[in-house]
Amino acid sequence: MQLLIVQMLDGQHRVFDLYGEDVTIGRERQRDMQLAHASVSREHARLVWRSGGYTISDVGSNNGVYVNGEQTQETRALSNGDVIRLGHFELIYIDGEVPKRFRRLDIHNIPRWFAVGTEMHDDSTAQLSTKVMKRLLDARVHLEGGVLVFDDGSHMDLEDGVWTMGRSGADIPVKMLFGPDRQATVTWNGRNHVLTRLGRRGVSVNGQSVQACTLEDGDRITVGRSRFKYEVRK
């Protein structure tokens, strides 16, 4: 898992997923990540995929690129948990497990950078790059095709609902001897369906206990003593 957690000017956060592709960052709309503020140059910085990780470089910005408080004059390799400052924006680089100091952000449930359903002006759609459009289309497939399959072969369309899993009164009943009435939720974060545990234990994906997990096609879910399968039907 490689991504950037971006703190916006209003204090809210967005997740920009990284896919082993180079990323340009700047104020101009045609950048892969557009930070539309005067403190950011038209083309401010570039992330380059190299040997399984990312480097960052300043491409002639006015206000500089800072990593962990130090200005970066040349290309710099990024490490898990590095904090990048571009103008008034703060970006946290995640490569693998989320460092303890950032876990309070609950990144699985932070809206993605290009959330399905985000309104755009008519003239902006022509500016979307091919790779951004592909990600939007992939997210649409997950949104429309994501289902939870039960033991008897029946299924539930998840779409963008908020579904509770548990005992009495839950949207999705599960078999449990002990534990809270609400054991887990399944929600939509703008790109994936997310399974989040509410209790202390009793939720696993593919045999691994989880607190929160983005779901992928074929994942096998256990909640309490009930088993489900997540599928993306195209």
Which pairing describes strands 146-149 and 220-223: parallel, antiparallel, or unpaired? unpaired
pLDDT in tens, 176-198: 766 667 899 999 887 789 899 98
To which H or E segment does residue 214 belong?
Answer: strand 212-214
pLDDT in tens, 36-64: 899 999 999 999 998 888 999 999 999 99
First to last CA, the chain: 25
- Residue-averaged pLDDT of the chain: 86
SS3 233: coil
pTM, to two decimals: 0.62
Closest CA to 81 of 93, 66, 96: 93
> What are the Cα distances from residue 92, in Å, to 69, 162, 174?
12, 28, 37
Give the up-direction half-sphere exposure of residue 101: CA atoms within 13 A in the CB hemisphere. 7
